[in-house]
Amino acid sequence: MYSVTKQQMSFRSSGPLSGETVVPGDKSISHRALMLAAMADGQSRIQGLSPGGDVRSTACALRAMGARIEAEGPDTWHVDGVGTGGLNTPHAPLDMGNSGTSARLLMGLIASHPVTATLTGDSSLSRRPMERVAGPLRTIGATIAASPQGTLPLTIEGAAAAVPRHHRLTVASAQVKSALLLAALNTPGVTRITEPVATRDHSERMLRHFGARIEVAEEPGGGRTIALAGKAALTPQDIAIPGDPSSAAFLAVAALVVPGSSIVIRNVGTNPLRMGLFDALRAMGGDIVFDNERMVDGEPVADMRVRHSALRATDIAPQAVPSMIDEFPIFFIAAAFADGTSRTSGLRELRVKESDRIAAMAEGLRAIGARVEENQDGLAIMGSGGAPLPGGATIASCMDHRIAMSFAIAGLHCSQAVTIDSMAPVDTSFPGFVTTLQELHSA
């Protein structure tokens, strides 16, 4: 199934996947759990923390600003918080690695504290836009100097007395919303944020769990207004983080497209604002069932059962994009094996992720034999009707973990092996990805 040369790895068809597995802790929730625990006054215990490099970047930055974060085991951590308002100026630049979430959310956290910090990142992150967060944060009193392109490296001088605002977002972005909510923690008065379309609400749920005074009101047309009262005194918590649905997505699509497969993924987060991909896959005829549904620390969780299915093409409307924004690379793989032509639009945000995911996925799909049409904000993919694709190509991961994992899954149902030029980026979110695939093939 696999052959490895340095960081290069090849994936080929080797029969159905079966058995049970788990995926790493939800990356989005892990970032927020660390930050809110660092703002609490006392010790929090976090179980199931994502082991990926992105979350490690957040932990290192919080340590540099005064929080004490220590491992109890491989995925359990203790965080001794500094309390709201207690951040210290770090002695050196904060390295965000490849994590856009770390950079943007920490900008918000720092913006309302009287500290100064410089944020840096790797070459990929240093091409990603930061002005969408920096602009609103300047309106509360923060001073932010980015590169001429509006990217990292970036220096932020937080406001000694931040000003509460009503932020009306023109683009739906959970990261921008979350950065503003984190800034609101140490801002006296009520901060309000209106988003045009409801985006993932992990921040709102976790803020409530830590004791913040937060209210959410539905707006006409599907948007929401969130109001947070600061300065907020957060209470330490014990938190169990569910498995990441974005990681589960790769295994689910593998089971759907590889004939004879049947797997169970335990303890997956099922936040309704993260279920867009699974809703789409089920609309395509995918046999996906959620069992043992339950609530864990304010988040819905379930066990996911997935069986091989004959997929039908589908169109993804722009209003569905926020609920599956991170899962489009693996959706494109599912579409490549479906019957008919799947179309997407409203995906301009994908051009400024870890890579230009529209262009990278189009190029890779063509290389393995799929028929693809690329436009400015989406793709049209003509599926194989369930038949294997030719494969036999080497795919440029573009140092993007989701590109690498998506084409690894594609290789499992191609006539010839698909080689990924580097699987190193996968460490940012799913360090055990290859091992998990091997175990599901040997079960």
Catalytic sites, residue numbers: 326
> Is 177 within any annotated ligand binding site?
no
> Is 15 within any annotated ligand binding site?
no
- Closest by CA to 368, choosing from 10, 124, 17, is 10
> Is 237 within any annotated ligand binding site?
no
Place of tokens 């609309």: 283
Residues with Cβ within 8 Å of residue 268, at least 6 apart in sequence? 23, 242, 243, 244, 245, 248, 301, 302, 303, 304
Contact indicator for 35, 43 with CB cutoff of 8 Å: no
> Is 274 within any annotated ligand binding site?
no
> Is 231 within any annotated ligand binding site?
no
Contact indicator for 337, 310 with CB cutoff of 8 Å: no
Report how far residue 178's alpha carbon sits from residue 163's, in angstroms, rounded to the nearest whole number: 17
> Is 32 within any annotated ligand binding site?
yes
Task: Return phi, psi of residue 55, to 5°.
Answer: -70, -35
- CB atoms inside a 10 Å sphere around CB 418: 27
Report how far residue 50's alpha carbon sits from residue 32's, in angstroms, rounded to the nearest whole number: 11
- Closest by CA to 100, choosing from 357, 432, 355, 405, is 355
CA distances from 309 to 12, 315, 381 (A): 20, 18, 18
- CB atoms inside a 10 Å sphere around CB 217: 11
Strand ranges (DSSP E) for 247-351?
A: 262-269, 287-296, 299-307, 315-316, 341-344
> Is 6 within any annotated ligand binding site?
no
> Is 27 within any annotated ligand binding site?
yes
Report how far residue 360's alpha carbon sits from residue 236's, in angstroms, rounded to the nearest whole number: 42
Pick out the residues of the known binding site for 3-phosphoshikimate: 27-28, 32, 173, 175, 326, 353
Pick out the residues of the known binding site for phosphoenolpyruvate: 27, 100, 128, 175, 357, 402
Pick out the residues of the known binding site: 27-28, 32, 100, 128, 173, 175, 326, 353, 357, 402
